[in-house]
Amino acid sequence: MNAETDLATLIRNLEPKTLPETYVFCSVENANYGALAHASPLASFAEPEGLTLVLTRESAEEEGLSYEGTFRCISLQVHSSLEAVGLTAAVTGELATEGISANVIAGHHHDHIFVPSRQAESALRLLETMSSRR
């Protein structure tokens, strides 16, 4: 399956799906990539201030890691190209109009939007409505 670049097609085929887990973002100072791999982070990113890990809340608590806020992941099922222009802006803009923050992580095949847990259902409905308008 080829990755899609056309914005209208991407939006029409979003097929947002909320993953069942609750996630948190943690930062581990002086940690290298691969640290805490046993905690099965969904994603990690090395920053000068520390290693950012996206983990389930349960994994973070088992490891004694601190975090601020909990998030749900809405995974867009459309196969978006990493060179597609405007998808992130369109999705985050739609959520922003309703005061919903969005932290986006692009995978090779799909985009994943982390929204505050308390707003996950509203965010999912907004993205479904956005997709059906096209």
Question: In this predicted structure, what is the pLDDT of residue 34?
Answer: 86
**Amino acid 17: pLDDT:** 97
- What pLDDT, on a 0 to 100 scale, did the predictor assign at position 6? 85
Sole residue written with tokens 């965010």: 123
What is the model's pLDDT at position 70?
A: 98
Distance (Å, rounded) from C-alpha 79 to C-alpha 18?
16
The pLDDT of residue 32 is 85
Q: What are phi and psi of 104, to 5 degrees?
A: -105, 135
Domains of the chain in sequence order: 7-132 (3.30.2130.10)
**Full pLDDT tens readout for the chain, 134 residues:** 688 898 898 999 999 999 999 999 999 998 888 889 999 999 999 999 999 999 999 999 999 999 999 999 999 999 998 888 999 999 999 999 999 999 999 999 999 999 999 999 999 999 999 999 86
For residue 134, the model assigns a pLDDT of 63
Q: How far apart are CA 107 and CA 118, in angstroms?
A: 24
Secondary element (H or E) of residue 95: helix 87-96
